[in-house]
């Protein structure tokens, strides 16, 4: 490890701040973290700002306004490594539901004076605007994975982010499959691990917040889930959730909707 | 009816069911942690139990491809609930084991191996298929030339109460695999549950000593016949069959069959089949470093041939498609395993069928492959 402490900047775009809070929630590790890295910019934690360039930029949130489109380009140009933090940054997040509707209509329902707003028609992941070196999924992210990424960057190695399905984590912790055992719709087989299978361990199905498991088969899973739907359209809604704008989930939900239309 | 003789090894005795609690208590007094089937979150798991009251009394399971339900039976037995997703593998080959920690010491590293501290387990209710699976894993983890320390440490101290299986489920096919439902060997005590008594066959000196002074009678001809009939009936009631005649050749001669691609379209590559399989033994070693870079610890975790990282080598994944990964799994389990370990890698427990969300059934896939070959 070099003696230079890498400078880290944490930036926020359209998001709920929960992923930044996951960093601040690392109560046992924060002191070690502060001695390993130089936190140069992190408004959620401190008003003190150091000017860029930065070694590592951690970016939370999706791009939803013209101003954000410009700002992410600036951040990219002053950062050696850019990490997209959380499912807003990697797939647009829950606000990307607007991508499947008319954003102007939605704004007129929510705001008294939508004309004051300057927003884009879509909420999009960071990678649609600038090149991203590493994506860390989750709503919110798992703080242990954040630490793993920082440790890996400090040591110039690839972070160990499991590329397998949530099912592996259910089995590791002894959780019995809610899909097979209870008939509860669960996206676990098509979702990337990392959360520790929190939802199935608490008796509910996975809603896919860690994004698509890249070697998974969401198309086949959608067939399984459609057979146990508790109300019509449940499967499409499940895929079109937190990670709904992620390409493979989007494609799966679109295919279900197209089939339903055809059947009608 | 009381009998004060110590029963001989190989003999079968009958005890009143509550007397079994005395045996469990004696095991505890001898330092054993009792592990058995129990109901948790309205389903069946293996976990610590204190006494017979915690066994799934009065339950059976309903199993088919992709579905499992624990339901109340019309008859009341302690050992009729066929195992669920969990297997004894999780105690002998745990999903997550700390191997060692490295600490920076000047210019070098100091290694401290993790302690092999595990309780002595008494497994209660091991079925014939599961006993066969334990014996297969013994072959893998306790080879004459090398034994896995974690597995050996746990395995050598296990006390096994096996059970002749009388209520097979819809996805069972141990009879096809020649493993059950009758328990053959490898137990300390083998139990057969009749309506009013437990029959116990004594399999070890330790089991003999545990039975010292307990109230029992020698199993009568009527009891033994009833047990035999029940086991034979169970063998006829297997929900699945698998023709093993031309295995492993059938699989190994058809590696280019278009059928693999068809399975690949259904398979989720989620790894569930490998995780619930009582013989699957693949693992990965994962390192975790501290933020200051001064300590790192290595953990062994269950892996799966369906995971993309499993066959990732420099330059890429050697099994880049789901169909190639499914083919690898099945052709190992019912093919190359034989050459590697002398047996097939499947015991006929049916877990991979029940716990596959995509309802893939290896007995059907083998049948389809056979039909195609004709």
A181 and A127 part of one domain: no
A115 and A219 part of one domain: no
- Spatial CA neighbour of A141 closest among A199, A188, A211: A211
A253 and A135 part of one domain: no
What is the C-alpha separation between B272 and B351, in angstroms, rounded? 9
- The minimum CA-CA distance between B94 and chain A, rounded to whole Å, is 9
Is it true that the peptide bond before A140 is cis, omega within 30 degrees of 0? yes
Structure tokens at B318: 């050697």
Check residue B372 and give its pLDDT: 87
Where in the sequence is the domain holding A114, given as residue range(s)?
Answer: 7-154
A104 and A182 part of one domain: no
Neighbouring-strand partners of residue A84: A59, A135
Check residue A119 and give its pLDDT: 95
* Chain-chain contact of A203 with B309 (C-beta, under 8 angstroms): no
Q: What confidence tier does A262 reach under pLDDT thresholds 50, 70, 90?
A: confident
A192 and A219 part of one domain: yes
How many contacts does A have with B, using Cβ atoms within 8 A? 135
* Chain-chain contact of B357 with A155 (C-beta, under 8 angstroms): no
- Closest CB from B268, B289, B307 relative to A220: B268
Residue A1 has pLDDT above 50, yes or no: no
Total residue length of chain A: 264
Q: Determine the residue of chain A that is closest to B269 in CA distance.
A: A216
Which pLDDT tens digit goes with each residue over A212-258?
A: 999 999 999 999 999 999 999 999 999 999 999 999 999 999 999 99
Check residue A104 and give its pLDDT: 95
What is the C-alpha separation between A171 and A194, in angstroms, rounded? 13
A12 and A61 part of one domain: yes
What is the C-alpha separation between B122 and B50, in angstroms, rounded? 11
Check residue A65 and give its pLDDT: 97
Cα of B263 vs its chain's centroid, Å = 25
- Spatial CA neighbour of A188 closest among A150, A216, A229: A216
* Chain-chain contact of B357 with A179 (C-beta, under 8 angstroms): yes
Q: Where a domain ends, among A154, A178, A203? A: A154
Cα-based torsion angle of the residue sequence B269, B126, B186, B177 in order, rounded to the nearest 10 degrees: -50
Q: Could you tell me where the DSSP H helices lie in chain A?
A: 18-24, 30-36, 66-77, 87-91, 103-110, 143-154, 166-172, 178-182, 198-201, 218-226, 234-239, 247-263
A171: helix, strand or coil: helix
Contacts of A147 in chain B (CB under 8 A): 291
Check residue B296 and give its pLDDT: 94
* Chain-chain contact of A168 with B358 (C-beta, under 8 angstroms): no
Query: 3-state secondary structure string, A188-214?
Result: HHHEECCCCCHHHHCCCCCCCCCCECC
Q: Is residue A92 part of a domain?
A: yes
Check residue B4 and give its pLDDT: 67
- Spatial CA neighbour of A242 closest among A195, A184, A172: A195
Q: Is residue A160 part of a domain?
A: no
Neighbouring-strand partners of residue B102: B111, B296
* Chain-chain contact of A189 with B90 (C-beta, under 8 angstroms): no
* Chain-chain contact of B275 with A173 (C-beta, under 8 angstroms): no
Contacts of B351 in chain A (CB under 8 A): none
Low-confidence ranges of chain B (pLDDT < 70): 1-4
Q: Is residue A1 part of a domain?
A: no
- Closest CB from A36, A174, A190 relative to B291: A36
Chain A interface mutation, best of B84, B94, B270, highest count of A Cβ atoms under 10 Å: B270
Q: Determine the residue of chain B that is closest to A176 in CA distance.
A: B85
Q: Determine the residue of chain A that is closest to B94 in CA distance.
A: A172
A56 and A150 part of one domain: yes
DSSP, residue by residue, B113-151: EPP---PEEEEEEEEHHHHHHHHHHHHHHB-SS-B-HHH
Which pLDDT tens digit goes with each residue over B144-176?
A: 999 999 999 999 999 999 999 999 999 999 999
Please report, for the domain that includes residue A81, its CATH number: 3.40.50.700
* Average pLDDT value over all residues in chain A: 95
- The minimum CA-CA distance between A125 and chain B, rounded to whole Å, is 24
Chain position carrying tokens 């019309």: B74
Q: Is residue A144 part of a domain?
A: yes
Q: Where a domain ends, among A103, A126, A154? A: A154
A107 and A171 part of one domain: no
What is the C-alpha separation between B310 and B55, in angstroms, rounded? 38
Q: What confidence tier does A261 reach under pLDDT thresholds 50, 70, 90?
A: confident
How many domains are there within chain A?
2
B306: helix, strand or coil: coil
Check residue A153 and give its pLDDT: 92
Cα of B347 vs its chain's centroid, Å = 9
A113 and A172 part of one domain: no
* Chain-chain contact of A164 with B308 (C-beta, under 8 angstroms): yes
* Chain-chain contact of A224 with B66 (C-beta, under 8 angstroms): yes
A144 and A176 part of one domain: no
Check residue A3 and give its pLDDT: 59
Q: Determine the residue of chain B that is closest to A5 in CA distance.
A: B292
Check residue A109 and give its pLDDT: 94
The answer for residues whose C-beta is within 8 angstroms of residue B337's C-beta and 6 or more apart is: B248, B343, B344, B345
Contacts of B95 in chain A (CB under 8 A): 171-174
* Chain-chain contact of A220 with B275 (C-beta, under 8 angstroms): no
Which pLDDT tens digit goes with each residue over A114-159?
A: 999 999 999 999 999 999 999 999 999 999 999 999 999 998 899 9
A155: helix, strand or coil: coil
What is the C-alpha separation between B301 and A120, in angstroms, rounded? 45
A209 and A142 part of one domain: no
Structure tokens at B212: 């010292």
Q: Where a domain ends, among A90, A120, A154? A: A154
Q: Is residue A161 part of a domain?
A: no
* Chain-chain contact of A224 with B67 (C-beta, under 8 angstroms): no
């Amino acid at each position: 490890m070099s003696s230079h402490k890498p400078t880290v900047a944490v930036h926020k775009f359209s998001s709920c701040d929960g992923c930044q809070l996951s960093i601040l929630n690392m109560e046992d590790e924060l002191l070690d973290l502060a001695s390993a890295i130089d936190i140069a910019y992190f408004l959620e934690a401190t008003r003190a700002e150091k000017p860029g360039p930065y070694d590592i930029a951690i970016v939370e949130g999706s791009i939803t306004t013209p101003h954000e489109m410009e700002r992410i380009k600036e951040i990219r140009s002053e950062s050696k490594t850019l990490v997209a933090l959380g499912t807003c940054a990697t797939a647009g997040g829950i606000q990307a539901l607007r991508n499947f509707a008319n954003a102007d209509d939605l704004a007129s329902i929510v705001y008294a004076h939508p004309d004051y707003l300057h927003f884009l028609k879509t909420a999009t992941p960071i990678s649609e605007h600038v090149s991203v070196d590493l994506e860390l999924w989750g709503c919110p992210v798992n703080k242990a994975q954040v630490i793993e990424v920082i440790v890996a960057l400090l040591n110039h190695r690839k972070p160990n982010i499991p590329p397998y399905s949530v099912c592996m984590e259910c089995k590791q912790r002894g959780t019995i499959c809610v899909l097979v055992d209870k008939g509860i719709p669960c996206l676990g087989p098509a979702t990337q691990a990392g959360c520790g299978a929190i939802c199935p361990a608490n008796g509910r199905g996975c809603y896919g917040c860690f994004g698509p498991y890249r070697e998974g088969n969401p198309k086949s899973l959608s067939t399984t889930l459609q057979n146990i739907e508790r109300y019509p359209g449940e499967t499409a809604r499940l895929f079109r959730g937190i990670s709904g704008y992620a390409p493979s989930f989007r494609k799966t939900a679109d295919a279900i909707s197209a089939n339903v239309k055809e059947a009608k | 009816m009381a009998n004060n003789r110590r029963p001989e090894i190989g003999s079968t005795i009958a005890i009143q069911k509550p007397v079994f609690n005395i045996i469990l208590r004696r095991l505890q007094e001898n330092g054993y942690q009792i592990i058995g089937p129990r109901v948790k979150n309205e389903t069946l798991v293996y976990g610590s139990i204190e006494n017979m009251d915690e066994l799934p009394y009065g339950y059976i399971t309903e199993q088919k491809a992709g579905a499992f339900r624990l339901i109340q039976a019309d008859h009341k037995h302690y050992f009729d609930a066929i195992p669920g997703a969990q297997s004894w593998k999780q105690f002998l080959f745990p999903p997550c084991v700390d191997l060692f920690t490295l600490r920076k010491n000047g210019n070098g590293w100091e290694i401290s191996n993790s302690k092999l501290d595990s309780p002595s387990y008494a497994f209660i209710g091991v079925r014939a298929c599961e006993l066969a699976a334990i014996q297969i894993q013994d072959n893998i983890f306790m080879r004459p030339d090398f034994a896995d320390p974690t597995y050996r440490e746990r395995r050598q101290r296990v006390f096994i109460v096996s059970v002749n299986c009388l209520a097979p489920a819809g996805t069972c096919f141990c009879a096809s695999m020649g493993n059950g439902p009758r328990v053959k060997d490898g137990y300390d005590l083998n139990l057969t549950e009749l309506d009013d008594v437990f029959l116990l066959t004594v399999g070890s000196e330790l089991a003999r000593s545990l039975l010292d002074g307990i109230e029992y009678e020698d199993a009568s001809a009527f009891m033994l016949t009833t047990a035999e009939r029940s086991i034979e009936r169970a063998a006829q009631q297997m929900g699945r069959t698998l023709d093993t005649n031309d295995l492993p050749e059938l699989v190994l001669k058809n590696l280019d069959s278009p059928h693999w691609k068809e399975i690949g379209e259904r398979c989720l590559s989620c790894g569930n089949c490998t995780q619930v399989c009582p013989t699957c033994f693949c693992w990965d070693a994962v390192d975790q470093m501290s933020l200051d870079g001064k300590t790192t610890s290595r953990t062994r975790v269950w892996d799966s041939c369906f995971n993309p990282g499993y066959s990732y080598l420099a330059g890429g994944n050697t099994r880049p498609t789901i169909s190639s990964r499914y083919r690898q799994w099945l052709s190992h389990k019912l093919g190359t395993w034989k050459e590697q370990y002398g047996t097939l890698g499947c015991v006929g427990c049916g877990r991979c069928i029940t716990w596959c969300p995509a309802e893939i059934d290896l007995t059907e896939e083998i049948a389809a492959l056979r039909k195609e070959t004709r």
